[in-house]
Amino acid sequence: MKHEPITLGEKLAAVEPKTPRFNFGAWVRNTVFTVLNLSFLTAICALPLWWFLMRPDVDSNIILFFWLILIALWLFVYPRCGITKPDKPKIHSLLANDHLGFMRDLRLDAKTVIFDGSNIYHFGHDNGLDAQPLGLIAHQLRVEGYRIVCFFDANIFYTLNKHGAFPSDQYHSVALLEDIFGLRADEIYVVPSGVQADKYILDSLKHLPISFAVTNDKFRDYAKKYPTVMKGNQWRKGVMISKNEIKVLQHRLQNPIRLN
């Protein structure tokens, strides 16, 4: 009986590549080049030794000429005699770049909220609230029983420093984001430098059955790549401020989030 995955780590577990069929032609080729490689290498070592010990009545320039030819032939053969290594199993980027290691333990049967951390932070900053909206929404949804996963772009530290959230000499760490946003360490995922968090967010939604994203980004550039994720209007919930209250669109919060 096939074991159904329980956690995200089990679902995304690396699959060992299938053992390739025996390729007789490739085996012959590798064998020939290996024999030639050993032969030329032996000749390269033996020729100067033979000339030094036997002192044949042969012009040394001729010996040098043949020795250089052997080296040239060996340099041609050597790169072609390698043994093909089996492919390494690929690890999904969600797990490979999860330095805190909490993603693999996410249960597939748990309701999860995927935050577009950088996007919601910018929304808060544009409204003069900085980190407050993200922290308050995460807290309320956590109280409602949701598992929180918050993705940040790698430049979040630069952005926070630019906005005066912490001094320039402060060490960049997950603990810093915990303090600023009121999140737990196992809720924070900073994506690698040079890539956007968008793909990580959509991949998480794709593989976590009971989940939705909190973001004001509509990810239109990814519609063709993630058609099943972006189907309908329930996969993402926008955020707005109305009458001094933070609202998560298309989601009824159990308790309203009012601003002081």
- Set out the domains of the chain in order of their start, with CATH numbers: 24-80 (no CATH), 93-258 (3.40.50.11980)
Q: How far is CA 256 from CA 21, 180, 242, 252, 259, in A?
A: 62, 22, 11, 9, 10
Higher per-residue pLDDT: 58 or 204: 204
Instruction: Using the predicted structure, report yes or no on whether residue 38 has a pLDDT greater than 50.
Output: yes
pLDDT digit string, tens, across residues 196-249: 999 999 999 999 999 999 999 999 999 999 999 999 889 999 999 999 999 999
Q: What is residue 15's predicted lDDT score, i.e. its pLDDT?
A: 52
pLDDT at 16 over 50: no
Amino acid 256: pLDDT: 95
Percentage, residues of the chain above pLDDT 70: 92
Cβ atoms of 183 and 177 closer than 8 Å: yes
Q: Does residue 86 register a pLDDT over 60?
A: no
Half-sphere exposure of 150 (CA within 13 A, CB side): 27
Residue 79: predicted pLDDT: 76
pLDDT at residue 140 greater than cutoff 50: yes
Position 22: which residue type? F
Quote the pLDDT of residue 70: 82
Number of residues that make up the chain: 260
- pLDDT score, position 44: 83
pLDDT (mean) for 41-63: 77
Please tell me which of 14-18, 64-68, 119-123 the model is most confident about, judged by mean pLDDT: 119-123
Round to whole Å and give the CA distance between 238 and 164.
26
Q: Would you state the pLDDT for residue 2?
A: 67
Query: ∠ CA(201), CA(134), CA(142), 5° rounding?
Result: 80
With 0-12 / 13-18 / 19 or more C-beta atoms within 10 angstroms meaning exposed / middle / buried, residue 30 is middle
- What percentage of the chain has pLDDT greater than the value 90? 66
Instruction: Return the bridge partners of 68, or none.
Output: none
pLDDT greater at residue 162 or residue 80: 162
Q: What is the mean pLDDT of residues 75-100?
A: 78
Q: Are 125 and 227 in contact (CB under 8 A)?
A: no
> Could you tell me if 114 and 151 are in contact, meaning their C-beta atoms sit under 8 angstroms apart?
yes
Distance CA 239, CA 245 (A): 11
Residue with the bigger pLDDT between 14 and 191: it is: 191
In the predicted structure, residue 189 carries a pLDDT above the cut 50: yes
Instruction: Note whether 134 and 140 are within 8 A (CB).
Output: no
**Average pLDDT across the chain, whole number:** 89
User: Tell me, what's the pLDDT at 219?
Assistant: 95
Which among 202, 192, 203 is positioned nearest to 155, based on CA atoms? 192
Contacts of the segment 176-182: beta carbons below 8 A, 24+ positions apart:
177/152, 180/131, 180/135, 181/117, 181/121, 181/131, 181/134, 181/135, 181/138, 181/150, 182/131, 182/135, 182/136, 182/138, 182/139
Average pLDDT over residues 35-64: 78
Q: What's the distance, CA 160 to chain centroid?
A: 23
Report, as an integer, the average pLDDT of 115-136. Answer: 97
User: What's the pTM value of the predicted model, to 2 decimals?
Assistant: 0.73
